[in-house]
């Protein structure tokens, strides 16, 4: 079995070492590097094979937002998963804009972090429900959702809107297909059409679109 190659990026040595010890106990994960900031992670990724970057958000010298930007511009195939706290909503939004695959809370269980790593590796968006709620409340305030206007403005169908919601909720193509009784191929085609209609690059940007337009339940 080929292991998922991970680097852990955090400016606190105790957290780096602790995560390494715990995550190394999973047979499908391999910790290939420990870095103190985003730039160090970027330099490591240029020289080594890395699948997932587990990235702290607030770090001196080079934070997780800039680190994500540098890494994704250099190698779009590397997945960046942000480890964050409730108060970091602005950082989270910026990291997602630069291509992060999602975010988990620092006090998440190790099983949740392990599951998030696997989901990100498979190309899915990893969304911690509590943080997603905080982001939506912050962005929405008291704004009413008008899906009809959103559909008309962007040429979206009811199915498009439903799929956008599920992507923002972290569901995989297979899970979306099962929920709406569609084949996985049909879901992929729908997502390609959504990306084209919205002039977006990937699933992460679809999730951001959902949050910005207040269409996530």
The mean-pLDDT minimum among 17-31, 87-101, 195-209 falls in 87-101
Q: Select the more confidently predicted residue: 85 or 40.
A: 40
pLDDT recorded at residue 142: 42
pLDDT recorded at residue 129: 65
CATH of domain 4-137: 3.40.50.2300
What average pLDDT score do residues 103-132 get? Answer: 84
pLDDT tens profile 125-144: 887 766 666 665 555 544 44
Residue 100 has pLDDT above 60, yes or no: yes
Instruction: Note if the pTM is more than 0.85.
Output: no
Measured CA to CA, the distance from residue 130 to residue 133 in angstroms comes to 5
Calculate what percentage of the chain has a pLDDT beyond 70: 89
Measured CA to CA, the distance from residue 22 to residue 42 in angstroms comes to 24
Domain ranges of the chain: 4-137, 144-212
What average pLDDT score do residues 93-108 get? Answer: 85
Q: Select the more confidently predicted residue: 99 or 33.
A: 33
What average pLDDT score do residues 154-165 get? Answer: 93
User: Dihedral, CA atoms, 95, 97, 101, 104, nearest 10 degrees?
Assistant: 40
pLDDT recorded at residue 29: 96
CATH 1.10.10.10 fits 144-212, yes or no: yes
pLDDT recorded at residue 143: 46
What average pLDDT score do residues 80-92 get? Answer: 78
43-47 contact pairs (CB < 8 A, 24+):
44/7, 45/7, 45/71, 45/74, 45/75, 45/78, 46/74, 46/75
């Amino acid at each position: 079995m080929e292991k998922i190659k991970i680097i852990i990026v955090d400016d606190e040595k105790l957290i780096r070492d602790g995560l390494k010890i715990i995550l190394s106990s999973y047979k499908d994960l391999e910790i290939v590097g420990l870095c103190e900031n985003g730039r160090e992670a970027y330099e490591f990724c240029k020289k080594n094979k890395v699948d997932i970057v587990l990235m702290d958000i607030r770090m001196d010298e080079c934070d997780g937002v800039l680190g994500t930007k540098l890494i994704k511009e250099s190698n779009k195939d590397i997945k960046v998963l942000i480890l964050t706290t409730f108060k970091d909503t602005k950082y989270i939004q910026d990291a997602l804009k630069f291509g992060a695959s999602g975010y988990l809370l620092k006090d998440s269980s190790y099983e949740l972090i392990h599951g998030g790593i696997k989901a990100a590796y498979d190309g899915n968006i990893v969304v911690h429900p509590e943080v997603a709620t905080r982001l939506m409340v912050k962005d929405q305030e008291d704004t009413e959702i008008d899906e009809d206007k959103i559909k008309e403005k962007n040429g979206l169908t009811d199915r498009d809107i439903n799929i956008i919601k599920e992507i923002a909720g972290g569901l995989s193509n297979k899970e979306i297909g099962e929920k709406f009784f569609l084949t996985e191929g049909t879901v992929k085609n729908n997502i390609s059409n959504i990306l084209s209609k919205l002039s977006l690059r990937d699933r992460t940007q679809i999730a951001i679109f959902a949050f910005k337009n207040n269409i996530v339940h």
